[in-house]
Structure 1
Amino acid sequence: VYQDRALGLPPLNRTLARRMMEQTKIYEALQGVRGREPVDLDALETLLVRFSQLVVEQPRVKEIDVNPLLARPGDDGLLALDARVVLHPYTKDDDELPTPAIRPYPRQYIGTHPMGDGVEITIRPIRPEDEPKLVTFHERLSERSVYLRYANLMKLEQRVAHERLARICFIDYDREMALVAERPVEEDDDQIIGVGRLTKQPGRNEAEFAMLVIDEYQGEGIGTELLRRLVEVGETEGLDRITADILQQNHAMQRVCEKLGFDLVQGDGREMVKAVKSLSG
């Protein structure tokens, strides 16, 4: 197969690595054709992710090329037959080295939090592969929770539409930060039980937050912890202030804001209250 290529910006995650593979002509053959066994696509996916991480973590790498890469069925089916690495000159200062076009996954914002029943949940930035978990998350929300969050009864099929969730999960961490609260489930993947989002406002050094916790875990401090961490993110990112528009009847969210030092003022409309917290000075 000639002139077969796919482009991606590092760092890749597993979802983006698989999409790159699917864009190539050779992908069909990798899955196995004419009775041949497929190669280990999960291993190839992992290789692409780690290769992209190498590029991001080693800024002095100017060019790196693995060619050819042998891919064959079996546990040890991936083998780099040749590779070439070009470094930036040692005379170039660190601050002169290029930086990635896409900000790497912000692992510094990963943490844990104990719940009242003793279960420890993970709070971390959202990832593109969280889309299926968010579908389940939205399926477990009551109409009241949906209304208090969106100020209207957005239908489930709208909330879980692929185009919408793809935008929510695949974000530019320089422009917004979304944290998910994840609770371990026996014999299954962890389930997302809360989501908090901080979105920078164009032309201003401030961000707007939004919060949503599934009904069965409301009132257990998850929203408070998510907002506390979003405030920490805002401080770390150098924002001047954080705001939110909250429905008048959403007293629980207003109490959480007051607990964390937000001022509540009358919003633009009668139905809304604006929460404001200054971070500068």
Structure 2
Amino acid sequence: MTDAASYSHRDTLRDGTPVEIRALRPEDAVEMLAALGQTSAQSRRRRFFIPKQHFSDRERDFFMEIDFEHHVALVACVDDAGIVGGGRYIVTEPGRAEMAFMVIDAWQGRGIGGLLLRHLIALARDAKLSELMAEVLLENAAMRRVFDRFGFVRVKGQDPDALHLELKLS
């Protein structure tokens, strides 16, 4: 079984840029906040579903205190740019987890979301999860395409402005 807390994998973006997909570390807190500062209001709304301008101490703690069993978080790092994106899954009930992603605006459209998703799916399978879920705003066509490529299917959700997507892992 893979140790998600020490996960690290070198990969390449579609344009040939080398990228490291690795576990989020406690010492990444300042760089994570800096990366969030490089996202537009639209990108933050697409991630959090509300206009998000700042994060409380409690929210920051939640995003940074990862146990790598029930809450797994990966970041995408580029040598001269630092953290350019991140993704996570949180186990919501036995065998099921919800996923979320954020890529800073200047790096969107280069394949980072897909790489993070691929690595998180592998970790979820290794952790014996049976299903991954995601909520995506209808307007977020780029992220919907990423989930489509990986086989997520639409299921009935409660929010009329969002798609509820699921992927069976077994």
TM range (shorter): over 0.9
Amino acid at match of 1:123: I
TM-score normalised per structure 1: 0.57
Aligned residues: 168
Q: 1:199 aligns with which of 81, 85, 90?
A: 90
Following the alignment from structure 1 to structure 2, what is the Cα–Cα distance between the partners of residues 221 and 105? Answer: 22
Inter-partner Cα distance in structure 2 for 1:198 and 1:221: 19
Q: TM-score, normalised by structure 2?
A: 0.92
Point out which structure has higher relative CO (alpha carbons under 8 A, 6+ apart).
2
Tell me the distance in 2 between the aligned counterparts of 1:272 and 1:166: 27
Once the two structures are superposed, residues 208-260 of structure 1 have per-residue CA deviations (whole angstroms, 9 ceiling, x without a partner) of 00011011111111101101111111100000100011111111111101100
Matches within 5 A, 1:202-241: 202=93, 204-241=94-131
1:13-65: CA deviations, max 9, x gaps? xxxxxxxxxxxxxxxxxxxxxxxxxxxxxxxxxxxxxxxxxxxxxxxxxxxxx
> Is the contact between residue 211 and residue 223 of structure 1 (CA under 8 Å) also seen in structure 2?
yes
Matches within 5 A, 1:1-281: 106-107=5-6, 109-155=7-53, 157-158=54-55, 161-185=56-80, 191-202=82-93, 204-280=94-170
Q: Please state which structure has a larger fraction of its residues in strand.
A: 2
Asked whether the equivalents of residues 242 and 276 of structure 1 are also in contact (C-alpha less than 8 Å), the reply is yes
Structure 1 segments unaligned to the other structure (5+ residues): 1-103
| 2: CA distance, partners of 1:238 / 1:257 | 20
Amino acid at match of 1:118: G
Unaligned stretches of 5+ residues in structure 2: none
Tell me the distance in 2 between the aligned counterparts of 1:119 and 1:219. Answer: 13
Q: Distance in 1 between matches of 2:15 and 2:141?
A: 25
Query: Partner of 1:270: helix, strand, or coil?
Result: coil
Name the Cα RMSD after superposition. Answer: 1.6
Structure 1 or 2, whichever has the larger Rg, is 1
After superposition, give the CA deviation of every residue in 1:66-106 in whole Å (9 maximum; x if it has no partner): xxxxxxxxxxxxxxxxxxxxxxxxxxxxxxxxxxxxxx763
Opposite residue 122 of structure 1, the aligned amino acid is E
On the 8 A contact 2:4/2:72 being kept in 1, the answer is no
CA separation of 1:105/1:233 partners in 2, compared to 1, >3 Å: closer, same or farther? closer
Distance 2:147 2:14 in 1: 21
Q: Name the % identity.
A: 30
CA distance in 1, matches of 2:27, 2:13: 25
Structure 2 residue matching 1:168: 3-state secondary structure? helix
Secondary structure in 1 matching 2:154: strand
